[in-house]
Amino acid sequence: MKFGIAVFPSKKLQDLANSYRKRYDPHYSLIPPHLTLKEPFDATDEEINKIAKKIEGIAKDAEPFTLRAYKISSFQPVNNVIYMKVDSVPELINLYQSLHNEEFGVKSQYSFVPHITIAQKLSNDEHSDVYGSLRMAGVDHEETVDRFHLLYQLENGSWTVYETYRLGGGDS
């Protein structure tokens, strides 16, 4: 089964992201707006139980952090993804690094750029038009994140929560 790890922002930020995603992101119906902490990986039931325990330990040692989405940016020319850029605060970077040590195997194919995707799989012309208008609209949002989620992918391609972890070790 495929798993991933992500932060779901507040409803307010999700609503803002979805106002763009419903038009510009074909994955809109598969997963809510999120900040990816670990890209999809495969694990058996037995493996995911061990991984879930490791994640629990990481969550206890991690601190809540401020998620500040402060500008619209793009990964072009690598790909035509448009996103809300999120501040690289130390608590977020430490959490990401903890989820990418040797125990977790697969290294990310990209360097970590904290973000929430709002548009993807656009043609070059679409990207240019959409990016121009979204950059002018901008974003300025700040909130405290105190939890993250281990997700699994269903047969229809959508993602659902497998387990929720509180940062600092509080109860879910």
Catalytic residue among 27, 115, 127, 141: 115
Q: How far is CA 134 from the centre of its chain?
A: 20
How far, in Å, are 21, 48, 49, 53, 124 from residue 45 at the CA level? 32, 5, 6, 13, 41
Report d(CA 67, CA 71) in Å as an integer.
12
Dihedral Cα 158, 154, 60, 170, nearest 10 deg? 80
The answer to whether the beta carbons of residues 119 and 130 sit under 8 Å apart is yes
Residue bearing tokens 């501040």: 87
Give the single-character DSSP code of 65.
E
> For this structure, is 34 an active site residue?
yes
- The amino acid sitting at 104 is F
How far, in Å, are 9, 17, 33, 68 from residue 12 at the CA level? 8, 9, 11, 13
Catalytic residue among 27, 34, 127, 149: 34
- The residues annotated with a catalytic role in the active site are 34, 115
